[in-house]
Amino acid sequence: MDFTFDVFLKTRGFFKAYLEELSLAQLNAIPKGFNNNIIWNIGHSIVTEQILVYKLSGLKPNVSDALIEKYKKGTKPDGKATQTDVEELKALAFSTIEHTKADFSSKVFSTYNEYTLSTTGNTLTNVNQAIQFALIHEGMHVGYILALLRALKV
């Protein structure tokens, strides 16, 4: 699982760079033909990892309920993210994965509530699968961000 967590840290590095290098207007922009924006994709990736790994293991996520409500599956951005939102996501980008890695190493995850994925139809039955899928999910959202950057001509 070390490789998986290493890749997570690298994708989170991309997220942090986007949050630091892009303007608030660029992060909030929803180009024609898109349903979301860059900051939503980052927040959604962070929240989804926490839901798949912690919530489905019956544990408290390392993000607030308000953040989950803002970025969970089925939500849409309002285009009004603030610099405070940017700073929060920058801090959570690494802290959440480091916490997950530490908890995984400490064998904190003892139960798991099965969950069938709407994207693939596969059923997650344990935390190992949840972590692996969360990384795949995150990779998809890195792709969406790259498409958004092209559409924004950044």
Q: What is the CATH number of the domain that holds 72?
A: 1.20.120.450
Residue 51 and residue 91 in contact, taking contact as beta carbons nearer than 8 Å: no
Q: pTM for this structure?
A: 0.96
Residue 37 belongs to what domain range? Answer: 2-152
CA distance 63 to 140: 21
What is the secondary structure of 105-117 as a DSSP string? HTT-------EE-
CA distance 46 to 65: 13
CA distance 12 to 19: 10
Domain count within the chain? 1
Instruction: Give residue-wise pLDDT tens across range 90-110.
Output: 999 999 999 999 999 999 999
Residue 150 makes CB contacts below 8 A (sequence gap 6+) with: none
CA distance 27 to 78: 12
Instruction: Give residue-wise pLDDT tens across range 107-124.
Output: 999 999 999 999 899 999
pLDDT of residue 39 exceeding 90, the answer is: yes
